[in-house]
Amino acid sequence: MNKKEVIKVLEKIATYLELQGANAFRISAYRKAGAALENDPRSMEEIDDVTALKGIGKGTASVITELLETGESSELKQLQQEVPVGLPPLLKIPGLGGKKIAKLYAELGIDSAESLKAACEEGRVQQLAGFAKKTEEKILTELEKLGKRSESHPLWQLETIVPKLDAILASIEEIDTFSVAGSYRRIKESSKDVDYMIATNEPTAVKEAILAQVEAAEVIAAGDTKISVVLTGEDAPNVDFRIVEPEQYATALHHFTGSKDHNVRMRQIAKERGEKISEYGVELADGTMQTFQTEAEFFAHFDLPFIPPTLREGKREFESYTDIPKLVTIEDVRADLHMHTTWSDGAHTVEEMGRALIEKGYTHGVITDHSQYLKVANGLTPERLLQQQEEIFAFNKQVEGFHLLRGTEMDILPDGTLDFSDDVLANLDFVIASIHSSFSQPQEQIMERLHTAMKNPHVDMIAHPTGRVIHQRDGYNPDMEQLIAWAKEYGKILELNANPYRLDLCIEHLEMAAKAGVKVAINTDAHAIEQLRYMEIGTKYAQKAWLHKDLIVNTWSFERFMKFLTNK
């Protein structure tokens, strides 16, 4: 367990205690322990004795030790059993924290989304101290959104589930080959369920192995061609495993990957040739069934190149397929330009992040910790930024063929000023500017803040330009046309933040940026080594906007990138 994850569990315990209406001192002990870890510049591996940290007492220390040793917390497990099951989901409603929910529970007996809705509709919530009529109305609209969301599963949720299922399927000997299919394979922002395609000659053995190993809350169907389960866990998705014979696999995978519109076009193309695509192969004009070894062979049969799943939307992939080789792939990426370390709110040190980038095969990367304004994230003062620079210099001396650059993710403050002065910025290799506060300002004010950053000659990039979090918040609604025009005018990069919670810019905005010829950087914004994996999602998402690799600055060589920074 890394530091970030330990801090998360401590925060979760504090929230559950709040839901229980526990003693304020007990709650704050967990928050203090989390902050103590956050503010310590070392990674978890480097701290030998957590009790030596100011803010960590005996009780919280034993929770941390248990987490490090077992990966679990019995304290949290206990709380999860005690707190009514309907309460934690209410935390997803913006504006309702643990304390408010505890009050609703204690005074109105509200223990679920349903009872909260009823109480709001009857006007009982606004009668409580601290709850206005407006709050009540807001809760009702948010409840409605919440209901809609639970029917679909965001990419960020599936992105943690799919690798676990992949690992199970990879361990089953009788499986020839398998792949996730459906909208997840196409990197849609949300999916109704998860689909898998499996090739085997021993369906019964495969079925038994899947049922034995996959943690299912419910088995909906368990045949030799399709197994359908609901996974365990909060808001867990349905998973369908479809089992076919190896020769049917390529066509079936294509079919169940979709999209529907793409499949309709493919069937039309087949029809024009007097052929028919079924789930398992292509019926030729003479009535024989042709099967394929791979999807590429399937496409080749129709004189098409391999169309990546991300592009299968039923339109542009048939009109512009000669552009496919120009699109970015994970193999083109040479750098990650946005990441955090233990200096601010990251889990790993400068050196650990640097080594991880080298292992990815990158040629360069930028350390961009938060700036001083972001106190909750332990943002850096100019003095600490200078100290960090020494660490980066030392790292570069140890390694060859790789360059770690000095950067910052500098806050654009609510009053429209920047968190660092020009002389601080002038000393850095790469400057990111971003908004993390006062999202609800009117658009003009938001745009004024962004304009200040855009005009500053030291700023190189705007990170997560809209501030959205998928399924959770809409962001601060900038005027995107204007922002792109400024990026063009001042030669700034716009970010595609590849964190699956963000994917910001979104596809539509990426298309606008590409049309204007604005440079884009795909960055992970990693707060821990494991999150560097988001680059793959980022590149696939960029494909959906048909972004050419030449537009993406982190596919460039180190020399070209540095030249761009000096000449911009």
Regarding 499 and contact with Zn ion (CB under 5 A), the answer is no
Q: Where are the beta strands (DSSP E) in 127-244?
A: 153-154, 175-180, 190-191, 194-200, 216-222, 226-231, 238-244
Residue number, 352 or 409, with CB nearest to Zn ion: 409
- Alpha helices per DSSP H over 40-126: 58-70, 74-82, 98-108, 113-121
Site residues for Zn ion, window 138-167 (CB under 5 A)?
none
Q: Which is nearer to Zn ion, 179 or 434 (CB)?
A: 434
From the number of C-beta atoms within 10 Å of its C-beta (0-12, 13-18, 19+), residue 215 rates as exposed
Residue 409 or 460 having the CB closest to Zn ion: 409
> Counting Cβ atoms within 10 Å, is residue 444 exposed (0-12), middle (13-18) or buried (19+)?
exposed
Stretch of 37-45, 107-115, 354-362, 407-415 contacting Zn ion, by CB under 5 A: 407-415
**Interface with Zn ion, residue 419, by CB under 5 A:** no
Closer Cβ to Zn ion, 75 or 369, answer by number: 369
Distance of closest approach, residue 468 Cβ to Zn ion, in angstroms: 12
Which value, to the nearest 10 degrees, does the dihedral of the CA atoms of residues 377, 383, 384, 390 take? 150
Closest by CA position to 461, among listed 402, 410, 534, 404: 410
Partner residues linked to 523 by β-bridges: 497
Cβ closest to Zn ion, residue 310 vs residue 434: 434
Return the H-helix or E-strand segment holding 496: strand 493-497
Whichever of 198 and 487 has its CB closer to Zn ion, that residue is 487
Q: Which stretch binds Zn ion (CB under 5 A): 116-124, 136-144, 409-417, 465-473?
A: 409-417
Q: Applying CB under 5 A, which of residues 372, 434, 456, 555 lies at the interface with Zn ion?
A: 434
- Residue 304 gets the label, from left (phi > 0), alpha (psi -120 to 50) or beta, of beta
| Closest to Zn ion by CB, 153 or 436 | 436
Distance, CA of 346 to CA of 409 (rounded, Å): 13
Q: Which is nearer to Zn ion, 40 or 525 (CB)?
A: 525
Shortest Å, Cβ 189 to Zn ion? 19
Give the β-pairing of 461-462 and 194-200. unpaired
* Least distance between Zn ion and beta carbon 181 (Å): 33
* Peptide bond between residue 259 and the one before it cis (omega within 30 degrees of 0): yes
Distance CA 466, CA 476 (A): 6
d(CA 507, CA 524) in angstroms, rounded, equals 17
Q: CB of residue 179 vs Zn ion: minimum separation in angstroms?
A: 32
Number of shown-chain residues binding Zn ion (CB under 5 A): 3
- Tell me which DSSP letter residue 192 carries: S
CB of 368 to Zn ion, least distance (A): 6
Scanning 171-179, 401-409, 534-542, 560-568 for contacts with Zn ion by CB under 5 A, the matching segment is 401-409
Nearest approach in angstroms of CB 519 to Zn ion is 19
Q: Which stretch binds Zn ion (CB under 5 A): 41-49, 77-85, 243-251, 404-412?
A: 404-412
Query: What are the residues whose beta carbons fall under 8 Å from the beta carbon of 451, sequence distance 6 or more?
Result: 486
The label of the residue with tokens 């048909």 reads 546
Cα–Cα dist 488/490, whole Å: 6
Residue 158 CB, shortest distance to Zn ion, in Å, is 23
3-class DSSP state of 334:
coil
Task: Please check whether residue 196 is in contact with residue 178, taking contact to mean a CB–CB distance below 8 angstroms.
Answer: yes
Under rule CB under 5 A, which residues in 43-62 are in contact with Zn ion?
none
Q: How far is the CB of 438 from Zn ion (least distance, A)?
A: 14
Nearer to Zn ion, 157 or 434 (CB): 434
Please give the Cα distance from 135 to 144 (Å, whole number).
Answer: 14
Residue 113 tokens, joined: 């989304």
Of 207, 453, 525, 556, the one binding Zn ion (CB under 5 A) is 525
Report cis status (omega within 30 of 0) of the bond before 440. no
Beta carbon of residue 568, minimum distance to Zn ion (angstroms, whole number)? 21
Report angle CA 434, 447, 538 to the nearest 5 degrees: 45
Of 107-115, 287-295, 342-350, 517-525, the segment contacting Zn ion by CB under 5 A is: 517-525
* Least Å from the CB of residue 494 to Zn ion: 14
Q: Which two tokens stand for residue 199?
A: 């090739």
**Closest to Zn ion by CB, 75 or 409:** 409
CB nearer to Zn ion: give 317 or 504.
504
Question: In this complex, which beta carbon is closest to Zn ion, that of residue 43 or of residue 434?
Answer: 434
- Name the residue nearer to Zn ion (CB basis): 198 or 337: 337
Q: Which residue is nearest to Zn ion (CB)?
A: 525
CB of 464 to Zn ion, least distance (A): 6
d(CA 329, CA 263): 24
Structure tokens that stand for 295 in this block: 């999807």
* Minimum CB–partner distance for residue 525 and Zn ion (Å): 4
Q: Is 409 in the site for Zn ion (CB under 5 A)?
A: yes
DSSP lists the bridge partners of residue 440 as none
Question: Residue 83 or residue 339: which is nearer to Zn ion going by CB?
Answer: 339
With contacts defined by CB under 5 A, name the span among 14-22, 95-103, 150-158, 434-442 that binds Zn ion: 434-442
- Residues in contact with 422: Cβ distance below 8 Å, sequence separation at least 6, in sequence order: 456, 458
Q: Please identify, among the stretches 39-47, 140-148, 185-193, 432-440, the one whose residues bind Zn ion according to the rule CB under 5 A.
A: 432-440
Element (H, E) at 461: strand 461-462
CB of 405 to Zn ion, least distance (A): 15
| Region near Zn ion per CB under 5 A, out of 49-57, 166-174, 295-303, 408-416 | 408-416
Contact yes or no for 194/209 (Cβ under 8 A) = no
Contact status, residue 522 vs residue 549, Cβ threshold 8 Å: no
C-alpha neighbours within 13 Å on the C-beta side of residue 16: 19
Stretch that binds Zn ion, among 46-54, 249-257, 296-304, 524-532 (CB under 5 A): 524-532
Nearer to Zn ion, 331 or 474 (CB): 474
> Which residues contact Zn ion by CB under 5 A?
409, 434, 525
